[in-house]
Amino acid sequence: MTRFLKSREAILLGALLALVFLAETRFSGFAAPGNLVRIFNDTSILIILALGQTMVILTRCIDLSQASNLALTGMVTAMMNAAMPGLPVPLLILVAVGIGLVLGALNGLLVWKLDIPPIVVTLGTLTIFRGLVFLVSGGAWVNSHEMSAAYKGFPRADILGLPVMSWIALATIAAFAVAVNRTSLGRAFYAVGGNPGAAVYTGIDVGRTRFWAFVIAGGLAGLCGYLWVARYAVAYTDVAGGFELDIIAACVIGGIAISGGLGTVTGAVLGALFLGTIKNALPVAGISPFWQMAISGTAIIVAVAVNRRRTPGRIILKEAKA
């Protein structure tokens, strides 16, 4: 318990609660359960993407192509739905995840097989995927009236008082909480990022582990492609433009070390919720939405400064866990 209080997750949780409290003083009803659920639902996509990005960052890589991947898969599913409204939604979701996986695997292969620095690979695929959205759609929009009711309705459908989108986010969080701590791949992500050289000697294939991190991040980006387009009921070339940096910001605020091997699922979720809460609190506090960019920028700088490692160099032995 005392250890939790000292952890960066506790600090972040405190900051998050303070933020909600502050917003509540300006606008009573902000902290009402209904509104908090709405904020969580609004932030679902960011949470899912941040979890994928976390796996990539844990292995000392970075994926800048997630938002472009999202735009491409979202556009493809929207166009399929517009052309063939009879296709069942689960099939479209499968297609979205499938395309996302392939795009992620492309990043992963370039990093694994050709050993190209991940920032270069995903900088390239960021522009390529985004350009492909334009090629696929011819620059045209898919508007709300062209989408079927089932396509748009699925993320909003209500199950036990929560929209399906929130349930998907909760399921993703649960899956990652288990996978990261209880599977060999999950532990390999930490090992590869913490000390790649040592990971090799313990029999972990560093390249292959990184490959799987990119595949996971890609698959989740594909899933979010469908969710994003269905939720906002519009698909166009610039969907989620610049969102890749929001995702990285969520991870950094959540205490995922950009140097790899350090970070938790809880941290990533809290980081995303922190950004989501700011986004929702600004309008009710009567602050112009134009302030949002500067505030998230400041939040990133403060977060990295707080999470900065005190010890120079790399930690060789991690503290034992009780």
Site for another protein, rule CB under 8 A:
57, 60-62, 64, 110, 113-121, 123-128, 130-132, 134-135, 139, 196-197, 200, 206-207, 237, 242, 245, 248-249, 252, 258-260, 288, 290-301, 304-305, 308, 312
Give min distance, CB of 47 to another protein, in A: 19
Whose Cβ is closer to another protein: residue 134's or residue 167's?
A: 134
Whose Cβ is closer to another protein: residue 13's or residue 252's?
A: 252
Give min distance, CB of 237 to another protein, in A: 7
Question: Residue-wise over 233-259: b if at least 16 C-beta within 10 A, else e?
Answer: bbbbbebbeebbebbbbbbbbbbbbee
Whose Cβ is closer to another protein: residue 8's or residue 60's?
A: 60
Give min distance, CB of 186 to another protein, in A: 19
Give min distance, CB of 239 to another protein, in A: 13
Return all residues near 156 (Cβ < 8 A) that are at least 6 apart.
163, 164, 165, 231
Whose Cβ is closer to another protein: residue 77's or residue 107's?
A: 107
CB 252 within 8 A of CB 308: no
Whose Cβ is closer to another protein: residue 6's or residue 308's?
A: 308
Give min distance, CB of 153 to another protein, in A: 31
Q: How far apart are CA 31 and CA 27, in angstroms?
A: 9
Return all residues near 184 (Cβ < 8 A) that are at least 6 apart.
none
CB 74 within 8 A of CB 239: yes
Return all residues near 5 (Cβ < 8 A) that are at least 6 apart.
none
> How is residue 203 written in tokens?
């029999």
Written as one letter, the residue type at 306 is V
